[in-house]
């Protein structure tokens, strides 16, 4: 059976993407995406425009968000799909999670200034559409624009990752809270890009088992940040933990993202796609 072209992970300028929700919907449709979810970091405020634009294009739509979580000393991202975006507990949880971003950005700018890169707070802000969502990506764009680095990947490597001058440790949401906000709003929680975390085997096992114990049900197998070997590995992990499998490009920008919307390979046929479990939550044109 031919699998659906579902892309369930992408960002608009409501978080750290560069396109509006409407332009992202248009690009997803042009790329052949049949079911699309917008998953802005710690935000749902782009979903109404995204939904309207998706349905106008004739494309099916799922609500989404990508929640920043602190677990075992690492930042982990939990994607929520198919929830009720009006749910007040979810909205309050996301507002709390976003809350410290401005002070964190100030501290990042201080660190960068000490390393000789001045004006980074104001510089990053020029790329921000949502004042509640200043992200490392906005700083990265500023450092590329000013010629300090050649591309955003270089900025992260030299300035914005642990131990580097612009990195500021931050306390995000708790894993159990993030999963609860999503599931109690009728959605499915999914571990995003699991290969990106620098966990020991023990800590990774703890992440998956605690996630499942809290009611988490899915894992990204096909994502823009997995190599072929990592796709194979997390397909096995999905089976081991009985998780639904997801597929999403994690698209942020036409000029920065290496994986465009709708272009990843299909999920391995033996895995159960998360969008099948969410059939009743998919909004159709």
Binding site for ligand AMP (CB under 6 A): 16, 41, 68, 135-137, 152-153, 156, 252
Residue 250 found at the interface with Mn ion (CB under 5 A): yes
* Beta carbon of residue 205, minimum distance to Mn ion (angstroms, whole number): 21
Binding partner of residue 220 among ligand AMP, Mn ion, none, CB cut-off 5 to 8 Å per kind: none
Whole-number Å distance between alpha carbons of 188 and 179? 8
Q: Are 100 and 132 within 8 A, CB to CB?
A: no
- Min dist. Cβ of residue 169 to ligand AMP (A): 11
Q: Kindly state whether residue 77 participates in binding Mn ion, applying the rule CB under 5 A.
A: yes
Q: Which residue is nearest to Mn ion (CB)?
A: 77
Sites for Mn ion among residues 10-29 (CB under 5 A): 16
Could you tell me the smallest distance in angstroms from the CB atom of residue 105 to ligand AMP?
8
Counting contacts by CB under 5 A, is residue 40 touching Mn ion? no
Q: Which two tokens stand for residue 71?
A: 């677990």
- Which residue number, 38 or 60, has a Cβ lying nearer to ligand AMP? 38
Q: CB nearer to Mn ion: give 111 or 248.
A: 248
Question: At its nearest, how many Å lie between Mn ion and the CB of residue 261?
Answer: 13
By beta-carbon proximity to Mn ion, the closer residue of 42 and 177 is 42
Which CB atom, from 235 or from 259, has the smaller least distance to ligand AMP?
259
Q: Which of ligand AMP, Mn ion, none has residue 156 at its interface (CB below 5 to 8 Å by kind)?
A: ligand AMP
Work out whether strand 244-248 and strand 218-223 pair parallel, antiparallel, or are unpaired.
parallel
Task: Mark residues 174-193: x for contact with Mn ion by CB under 5 A, - for none.
Answer: ------------------x-
Longest dimension (CA), the chain: 57
49-55 long-range CB contacts below 8 Å, 24 or more apart? Answer: 49/20, 49/21, 49/22, 50/12, 50/21, 50/22, 50/24, 50/25, 51/283, 53/21, 53/22, 53/25, 53/26, 54/25, 54/28, 54/29, 54/283, 54/285, 55/283, 55/284, 55/285
DSSP class of residue 66? E
Q: For residue 203, which phi and psi values (nearest 5 degrees)?
A: -65, -35
C-beta of 9 vs 29, nearer to Mn ion: 9
| Residues 246/36, Cβ–Cβ less than 8 Å | no
Contact (CB, 8 A) for 170 and 104: yes
Cα radius of gyration (the chain): 18
Tell me whether residue 79 or residue 219 sits nearer to ligand AMP (CB atom). Answer: 79
């Amino acid at each position: 059976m031919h699998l659906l072209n579902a892309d369930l992970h992408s960002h608009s300028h409501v978080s750290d993407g560069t396109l509006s929700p409407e332009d992202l919907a248009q690009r997803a449709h042009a790329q052949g995406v049949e079911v699309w979810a917008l998953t802005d970091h710690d935000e749902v405020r782009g979903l109404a425009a995204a939904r309207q634009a998706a349905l106008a294009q004739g494309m099916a739509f799922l609500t989404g968000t990508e929640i920043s979580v602190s677990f075992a000393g690492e930042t982990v991202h939990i994607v929520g799909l198919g929830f009720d975006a009006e749910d007040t507990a979810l909205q309050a949880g996301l507002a709390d999670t976003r809350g410290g971003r401005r002070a964190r950005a100030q501290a990042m700018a201080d660190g960068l200034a000490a390393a000789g890169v001045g004006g980074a707070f104001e510089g990053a802000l020029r790329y921000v559409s949502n004042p509640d969502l200043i992200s490392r990506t906005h700083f990265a764009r500023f450092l590329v624009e000013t010629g300090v680095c050649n591309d955003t990947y270089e900025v992260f490597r030299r300035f914005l990752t642990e131990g580097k001058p612009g990195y500021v440790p931050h306390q995000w949401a708790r894993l159990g809270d993030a999963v609860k906000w999503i599931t109690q709003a009728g959605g499915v929680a999914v571990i995003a890009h699991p290969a990106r975390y620098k966990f020991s085997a023990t800590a990774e096992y703890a992440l998956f088992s605690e996630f499942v114990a809290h009611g988490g049900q899915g894992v990204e197998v096909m994502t823009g940040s997995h190599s072929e070997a990592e796709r194979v590995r997390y397909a096995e992990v999905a089976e081991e933990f009985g998780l639904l499998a997801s597929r999403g490009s994690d698209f942020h920008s036409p000029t920065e993202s290496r994986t465009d919307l709708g272009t990843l390979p299909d999920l391995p046929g033996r895995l159960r796609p998360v969008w099948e479990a969410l059939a009743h939550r998919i909004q159709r044109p």
